[in-house]
A and B are shown apart, each in its own frame.
Chain A
Amino acid sequence: MSLTTIDDAGRLETVRLGMWAFLASELMFFGPLLLGWAYGRISMPDGFAWASRQTDLWLGTLNTAILLSSSAAMALAVQLSALQLKRQVGRCLLACAALGVVFLLIKFYEWHREWAEHLFPGPDFAGPAHTGAPYFFVVYFSATFLHAIHLTIGIGVTLTMWRRVHKSLGPLPQPALHAAGLYWHFVDVVWVALFPMLYLVERTP
């Protein structure tokens, strides 16, 4: 049987291409939020800027550092898998997932504080009467929540990969590891875009 099948040697390339196509789709999925952000910033600058300065810069920065470190662990796992270093790959994956969980815990704490400070849009919103302030927080909560869902999926995928690596007797599942790695980096990159948009840009003097 020499029909082209998915069992061919190009399996890794096939899976990677599939993941890239999926990530292109994911990027467009976040697109409306980016457009909504740009729209708010341009058309309601005062309230939008005020609201954006209410975010917690230090927790946001800390989380950025944590997520970047998790990506480093994931990149290491993918690289080490080529050398078939099973134990090291497993440890990197666990570290990556653990850092993801820490990110989520910090994010929950941040949301909790914002909720307590009445920054969630609604009748008892604490912000000024400027239009744009509640709008900013709609974008903020939607974007960070959807990012957190993606991260949760990423943690699930990473732990599944860790189990597969842990239990595997033969060579490591390279295509799946590469795909999981690409997905994790994508979730990281989304945060790297959200961080300046939501925390930094309005803080310039």
Chain B
Amino acid sequence: MSSYLTEGPTLRQWLTTTDHKKVAILYAIAITLFFFIGGAAAVIIRLELATPQGDLVPAQTYNELFTAHGVIMVWFFLIPSIPSVLGNFLIPLMIGARDLAFPRLNLASWYIYLIGGVGTLWGMLLGGVDTGWTFYTPFSTMFSNSHVIIVVLSVFFTGFSSILTGLNFIVTIHRLRAPGLTWFKLPLFVWAHYATSIILVLATPVLAMTMVLIVIERLFQVGIFDPALGGDPLLFQHLFWFYSHPAVYIMVLPAMGVVSEIIPTFARRKIFGYRFMAYAIMGIALLGFLVWGHHMFTSGMSMYAGMTFSLLSFFVAVPSAIKVFNWTATLYKGSITFDAPMLYALGFIGLFTIGGLTGLFLAALALDVHLTHTYFVVAHFHYIMVGGAVAAYLGGIHFWWPKVTGRMYPEMWARVAAAMLFFGFNLTFFPQYLLGYEGMPRRYHSYAPEYQLLNVLSSAGASILAIGYLLPLCYLAWSLFYGRHAPSNPWEGRGLEWKTLSPPPVENFSNPVVVHSHVHEVAGEGAA
């Protein structure tokens, strides 16, 4: 049986494929490119901040750099990362399906994503945008002289790629599960993507319309968000965060799904509290829609609204803590090995916990007045998005690399990279908590000299982080040609995806799949 990689090998066949596995790889290539472009902006930011004076780039360029970093990393790397690459590849395999429900729509999502990405890069090449990734009004609509419209329209466009991917996952999970694979037998990875898809489908359109309203206000100079013309800037912030807070869960829920597959495999235990893990995922997705106001405590909000948003934000900690405790409990009495995916997963638990708990500092009304708009916020969300989501993405890439490519990655190098990323990450971002607590505001390209020591530490950490990201790029590429051939199930994993060949055949399974027992002891009759 020929693998999906050898079937239809020409460039034209790749670009017109509707195989979910190949579309996943198209996504992987595209988001890797955007990751390193967004990363390059971060490198210049950290170099600039190594000294208190604004000496490397002018202030305007600095604004354009952090905007480019934010826009590219959020919409062109993090949002599509785990869902569009790993989710796309694995969901049909994990539920025993031949493909997603709408394979052509899946390919269309990739092209829409690409058009948005190229549009954004074009805007950056024309001179960039200086509004920050948040596009706050009325600056973005009335005052900024940068290329707001093209970038905003690109983000609008890319949103539809997210919506179509989410829609595809929802329908696939509802309709294409193998006989016997009931909801509470689904792997937590699939649950996480189901919850994420609901957010993608319901939150992304709100951002899309908000972007349209920015374009309308900017083009026609009519008042929606500009108070001088009878609009209200707070309306923009409410709309923007109604999407952008759930967007955090678009990034972190799939990451939780990945970790929930890795931990039981390398602890050789069943996941502890499976049902509660599934409920917690859905709980986080639901609560995530109700907490956007915590981004606006200092922008003007009634005391009662503030208290409500604060309380609801604290509630998010409950399902999050359930997940952390259950992963930890899964390790208890486990027979643990520290392969690279496990290192990433364990790193995730620690970094996510720190990021989550510091989120509670920011959700506390009084403390937020002191911490908001400082580096504390920057550190907090990088712990969630980089320490959490990116670490899980890399963990997942290593974990399923044998399945996707049919090759083993070099274990020693992978462990080195995982360790470098963990230490580099903490060295980069932990000092930023201290900087923020001491009052250093975010988004400034020069700062008071007393902040220099911590900034130098942060920049030093970033250089380790950069090497940590370049390493996997090198050895994973190497392993494509020289890596050991992978068996079907190198980790003794229990999911359905391990029951087929590595790499899987075009049809995913050679025989019909029927699930008899709990998913973690699946009797896949499609064993190849």
Contacts and interface: CB of A to CB of B under 8 A. Distances in A.
Same complex origin of A and B: yes
Contacts of B213: 32, 36, 142
A121 interface: yes
A156 interface: no
A29 B159 CA distance: 11
B106 to A, nearest CB: 11
A43 B220 CA distance: 23
Interface in A105-141: 121-122, 131-132, 134-135, 138
B205 to A, nearest CB: 4
Contact of B97 (A4, A44, A135, A146): A4
A122 B220 contact: yes
Interface stretch (B169-177, B339-347, B438-446, B468-476): B169-177
Interface string B150-187: 00000000000001001110110011111100000000
B171 A17 contact: yes
A26 to B, nearest CB: 7
A6 B206 contact: no
A6 B202 contact: no
Contacts of B526: 3
A31 B175 contact: no
B358 to A, nearest CB: 30
A32 B102 CA distance: 29
Contacts of A13: 175
A18 interface: yes
A47 to B, nearest CB: 8
B94 to A, nearest CB: 13
Contacts of B205: 25-26, 28-29, 31
A18 B171 contact: yes
Interface in A1-52: 1-6, 10, 13-14, 17-18, 21-22, 24-26, 28-33, 35-36, 39, 43-44
Interface in B200-238: 201-206, 208-210, 212-213, 216, 220-224, 229-232, 235, 238
Interface string B281-325: 000000000000000000000000000000000000000000000
Interface of A: 1-6, 10, 13-14, 17-18, 21-22, 24-26, 28-33, 35-36, 39, 43-44, 121-122, 131-132, 134-135, 138, 142, 146
Given A3-B507, A5-B176, A22-B163, 17 more contacts: A3-B98, A3-B512, A4-B179, A5-B97, A5-B98, A5-B99, A6-B99, A25-B204, A28-B202, A28-B205, A32-B210, A35-B235, A35-B238, A39-B235, A121-B223, A131-B230, A134-B223
Interface of B: 95-99, 101-103, 163, 166-168, 170-171, 174-179, 201-206, 208-210, 212-213, 216, 220-224, 229-232, 235, 238-239, 507-509, 512-513, 526
